[in-house]
Structure 1
Amino acid sequence: MGERVRFDGWILGLGTTSGTRLVVGYWPRSPLGPVSDVMVERADGNRVLLAATPELASFVAGTYSFDEVRVVPVEVGRAPGHWVLRAGPLALRVRVGRRPPLGWALRTVPSPLARTPAWVSLLDPFARVAGLRTRGTAGGGRTEWYGVQDLHLIRSASATWDGADLGGLARVDPPVRFGFGSVPPTPSVVRVTTTIGLSTPV
């Protein structure tokens, strides 16, 4: 079995009425320390990675596909019901809402079990019915397992890119094209442990 690393934290995914879709990774625990990144797909299909450090940018770009990679300060502020993010040209404010039935169901699974690749692989066929993936092959010969443990819906969001308004909150439609899967189409925040099997050491 090859080396495996874990990124433990939250993924926030949303769309905007301008067509830009955003995926924020907030990782208090990772092999690179506390880090954050933003994957952006613009309305024209251009895919941009905004990463807080060169090491994180290299790792993420080696796992997912982008047209442009930028190393910029990424600052994420979280308070009950609110996220505030600054990442280079992007400014984002989000209000987080209720936990839907799926979120309650996810919380019934003990976290140590929910994080294991074996459990995640077991769930993958069911996730595919909903158009999602919990396990798949990523770039660089890597394999990923998404151990989701909770989910909240996003109530509202405001975002700008270089000061230009990106529009109101919208579904993640079409799905983002960074890797083998997308975030849920309904704007949401998920508590997740991402396990990555490496072909080479990080």
Structure 2
Amino acid sequence: MTRWRFEGEITGLGTGAGVRIVVGHWSRSPLGEFTDVMVELADGHRVLLAPSAAVRDFVTATYVFDETVITPVRCSRSGGSRTVEAGDLDVSFEVGARTALGRLLHLIPRGVASAPWFCVVSDPIARVALHGVRTRGTAGNGRREYYGAVDQRRLVGMSGSWRGRDLGPLRPVDPPVRFGFGSTPRAPAATSIVTTIDD
């Protein structure tokens, strides 16, 4: 078995234009530090914005898209502010206080919260409490994936554009995104996470 481990932050946000966005910023991974973006348009069209062919190939072996684009992906962070520029996407958002879930996760030792066995135990709870969010499941090509959340903060605002069109105000991630077995929480949030993938 080959095991990959990605440590970083996943941010999920909905917009007034009906575009839903999931930004993955990975500070430690087998592919180095990188940011990738998954976009689902109002009509359901799914787009991956990847910074390299290596990232594209790894992500598309696990998740499903209608279109993939290799483009520079720049993510700047200053305090609670985040700005992401990736091809046709330009978005900025503000990260606020911990959510109730974030306060709970903060009490659990990181090594426990990120362990695959804990993701198995917490999966049925997450499905109910977070409206269908999964913490483990079968990914593409026979891979098994475990999402070990270790903290979470709510988003308090955003602005941005997609292909030159204004995205409008921050909205819940509704309907859920459809990139793989899991989803992002309905309430816009930035979740600190350790993702483990077993092949």
Q: What TM bracket, shorter-length normalisation? A: over 0.9
Q: Aligned residue for 2:50?
A: 51
Q: Provide the rounded CA distance (Å) in 2 between the counterparts of 1:152 and 1:178.
A: 22
Q: Which runs of 5+ in 2 are unaligned?
A: none
Q: Provide the rounded CA distance (Å) in 2 between the counterparts of 1:194 and 1:143.
A: 11
Deviation of 1:195 (Å): 0.3
Deviation of 1:104 (Å): 0.5
Q: Provide the rounded CA distance (Å) in 2 between the counterparts of 1:193 and 1:100.
A: 18
What's the TM-score once normalised by structure 1's chain length?
Answer: 0.96
Comparing 23-32 and 94-103, the one that deviates more: 94-103
**Helix, strand or coil at the partner of 1:92:** strand
Q: Provide the rounded CA distance (Å) in 2 between the counterparts of 1:106 and 1:154.
A: 17
**Helix, strand or coil at the partner of 1:98:** strand
Q: Aligned residue for 1:132?
A: 133
Paired AA for residue 117 in structure 1: P
**Helix, strand or coil at the partner of 2:159:** strand
The count of residues paired between Structure 1 and Structure 2 equals: 197
Q: Which runs of 5+ in 1 are unaligned?
A: none
Paired AA for residue 141 in structure 1: G
Deviation of 1:17 (Å): 0.9
Q: Aligned residue for 2:85?
A: 86
Comparing 161-170 and 58-67, the one that deviates more: 161-170
Deviation of 1:28 (Å): 1.1
Taking the TM superposition and a 5 Å limit, the aligned residue runs for 1:1-202 are 2-130=1-129, 131-198=132-199
What's the TM-score once normalised by structure 2's chain length?
Answer: 0.97
Deviation of 1:12 (Å): 0.4
Percent identity among equivalent residues? 50
Q: Provide the rounded CA distance (Å) in 2 between the counterparts of 1:175 and 1:155.
A: 19
Deviation of 1:89 (Å): 0.6
Q: Deviations over 1:38-61 (max 9, x none)?
A: 000000000000001100000001
Q: Provide the rounded CA distance (Å) in 1 between the counterparts of 2:70 and 2:173.
A: 24
**Aligned-CA RMSD value:** 0.7
**Helix, strand or coil at the partner of 1:97:** strand
Deviation of 1:132 (Å): 1.3
